[in-house]
Homo-oligomer: A and B are copies of this chain.
């Protein structure tokens, strides 16, 4: 839940004069997203989505994020399309923050994802990976192995206070991942945060939103993020039916190489560690009384413990060509 910043209606109306989308008729702050302030706006020409970028987003990254959405939308991915400003700049300034307008994507994110949702997301992720080819800008993944190694020392002293034994477990995970992180897998632009609340279904048609962790990394790592985000039940058991559906959807569009398939367990373990660590950091550092709802890092510790025992991509539901 967010909306850190309110906007005066006169300021917004003036801001909209930089665009060719008609006159403002309403705007409502949206209680979703924790990084930025988001508004659903109506104008005389339709519905749009306005984002004020708060301090957790680096303004230098905005051309990447906005350019990527344009690139993907031009190649048929259903995602928000940045609206062109009259002056050609990708963002303006509103309420003292960088601000951008994108098209409003209709659809509902699935609160209780089914195997059908997983299959659709797998296929949509693969289409996004292919559509991302040729995108001219590049952004490193600040939350891959080196990022985790940098983040962990900032959390380690408080870790056992959150869960007894967490420090030692995480030391071991980081050591394992440092030694076993794959190299040479196919790379490209990844979403890196494709959780259910970032996929808006209109019927069976998924739309992808919230590209603010998108970066260049192993494509198969994005698949591993989705296995974590979509295929565990609320009791933290892995749902093999959903895993099978998600992977089948993905490979129906973009087959995984043998090396990618083999790397899935370590990639999934890394992805779980990534979300455990960032949630742990926020858990420790979010002031009491903040309006931000803190997400429990232990949900990802539970996933981590599952991934540690996985020996083969078949355990996630990956079907081999020979089967």
Assess whether A180 is interfacial by the CB under 8 Å rule. Answer: no
Residues of B within 8 A of A162 (CB): none
| A151 CB, min distance to chain B CBs, angstroms | 25
Residues of B within 8 A of A142 (CB): none
Residues of B within 8 A of A8 (CB): 111-112
Assess whether A312 is interfacial by the CB under 8 Å rule. Answer: no
Assess whether A42 is interfacial by the CB under 8 Å rule. Answer: yes
Which residues of chain A in 182-201 are interfacial with respect to chain B, using CB atoms and an 8 Å cutoff?
A: 200-201
Known: A29-B30, A32-B29, A291-B1. A111 touches B42 (CB 8 A): no
Which residues of chain A in 101-123 are interfacial with respect to chain B, using CB atoms and an 8 Å cutoff?
A: 104-112
Residues of B within 8 A of A200 (CB): 26
Assess whether A31 is interfacial by the CB under 8 Å rule. Answer: yes
Assess whether A309 is interfacial by the CB under 8 Å rule. Answer: no
A8 to B114 Cα, complex, angstroms = 13
| A30 CB, min distance to chain B CBs, angstroms | 5
A4 to B200 Cα, complex, angstroms = 21
* 8 Å CB contact of A40 from B2, B28, B105: B28
Known: A1-B291, A3-B31. A25 touches B112 (CB 8 A): no
Judging by beta carbons under 8 Å apart, are B107 and A25 in contact? yes
A2 to B106 Cα, complex, angstroms = 22
| A35 CB, min distance to chain B CBs, angstroms | 15
Judging by beta carbons under 8 Å apart, are A26 and B111 in contact? no
Assess whether A289 is interfacial by the CB under 8 Å rule. Answer: yes
Judging by beta carbons under 8 Å apart, are A1 and B112 in contact? no
| A109 CB, min distance to chain B CBs, angstroms | 7
List 3 A-B pairs, minimum CB-CB distance, nearest first: A9-B108, A29-B31, A8-B111
User: Which residues does A use to contact B, with CB under 8 Å?
Assistant: 1-3, 6, 8-10, 12-13, 24-32, 40, 42, 47, 104-112, 200-202, 288-289, 291, 293
